[in-house]
Amino acid sequence: MILVTWPLFFGENMEIGDLGSNVAICTLWTETRKIDVGKGKFAVKGNLYSGNGIKYLVRNLLANPRIRYIIMCGNDRTKSGDDLSNLFGKGIDANGRILGSDVVLDPNLTPDVIEKMRRNVELIDMRGKEDDIEERIGGLDPKPPYSKPVIIEECKEECGDLEVPDVSGLRVEEAGIGRAWLNLLDLVMKFGENKDSEHGLKQKELLNVVSVIDGDDTGIAEWLPFEKPELEKYFETFFGTGSGKGLSYTYGKRLFQYIMPGTEPKWESEARATFDQIKNAVQHLRLAPHTRRAAAFTWYVHEDSMSDSPPCLTQITWSIKHGRLFETAVFRSHDIFGGWPMNAYALRQLQRMVAKDVGKEPGALTIISNSAHIYENNFDHASRIIKEHYSGKSMELMEDRLGYFTIAVEGKQLVAKHHLPDGRETGFVFRGKDATAIFRRIVHENLVSRLDHAAYLGKELERAEQAMKDGSKYVQG
């Protein structure tokens, strides 16, 4: 039996052959297309870049018991092949650690299911013998499935935490609010510290998470837990200048009708009418587009320092860069599940308003969440959304705002030249014979801002180095 949706994980990144085959090919770091095997000889061909990927490989194998052989081959750059060899050769200990390795599998990949896989699936190590793979497959005995499919879901919150105590300042960059929110949910649920909160609920918390959104946010993604009417209702609260039912304040009241400290009650009405922080920011930007004084604050030191419900949003600033209006918001406390997405839409709306008044197009919106947290009553819902809309997907590639590189082989040297997004050369040129050394120099020069760009550069420099060594022609991919 073969599952219609198999492979369960990362199938979009694999090369699919004959799903009736007994053979899966793991090419480690080598591009799958470079392992030349006829499609009728294997079921799937895919990479294994790190030991962390083994948990997905195992789940895919258990879900398709027709796979009886794994051909392991290719460049073992991170020793993920050694980790896989240890799993099949030695198994795991009681804590899920692969014997002879530092890799720990999820608790729901129990020793009994691992042993069942090890008894019935043979790992064939063909590293360094890639030209002989097709012949080796031809000599394998056909075998029937060894059981019914075993489906093991991804590890949920109750499986434990990834303890990384010193993490602060993680960054998310997406074109839209919906995608950024999925990324944030995944980060907090994976790496957030389980701790108490002042609301009587447990929480998972990350510190100083930075989200950058620069794209069209007019639509509402299907996975967001609200629809347009609810968002419009929230806008009324966010931009309204009344306290609102059950609210001790609204952001609108603090932003548009800020009460000066020490104002006597009989003068509050006049103070509200005369001090509009948003209008003040617009005036600064109109008079001096280079200003750093276009800022608004919601925190009343004399009241909020002792309040049981002080504002979460504390500061917004605006800056003009290359003719676009950028907005940055700081939250001292940020409920990523229940508050962040609506906050982001409202801030985007505010940014459009200010940009229109200043006569500029909106630039990126940056949100700094000092305490990025999810409360325990939302753990299950957050996990379901992550599973359905984020886990197992591929990163959406985006242009690096710092520019790009052209890579070439000139004689016995690799040459990488940096260009701005508009194509202009910057004068940063890197030469040498070692791809890794060039890559590290490029990163050190702060010329790469995105992980996908860094991964691409590493791959292309390795390809160029190999072409230089074997005398073949290199064409940048």
How far apart, in Å, are the Cα atoms of 113 and each of 20, 83, 100, 223?
23, 18, 19, 33
Q: Which two tokens stand for residue 443?
A: 């990163």
How far apart, in Å, are the Cα atoms of 16 and each of 25, 35, 298, 379, 393?
10, 13, 55, 35, 17
Q: Which two tokens stand for residue 145?
A: 């499935």
- The answer to whether residues 69 and 124 touch, using CB atoms and an 8 Å cutoff, is yes
User: Of 26, 73, 159, 312, which is the active-site residue?
Assistant: 312
Helix 54-63 to helix 80-90 angle (10° resolution) is 50
Question: Which class for 11: exposed (0-12), middle (13-18), buried (19 or more C-beta within 10 A)?
Answer: middle
- The answer to whether residues 37 and 23 touch, using CB atoms and an 8 Å cutoff, is no
* φ and ψ of 98, to 5 deg: -70, 125
374: amino acid identity, one letter: I
312 is catalytic: yes
Structural element, H or E, at residue 286: helix 277-287
* φ and ψ of 399, to 5 deg: -70, 135
Q: Which two tokens stand for residue 291?
A: 């200003």
For the annotated catalytic residues, the residue numbers are: 312
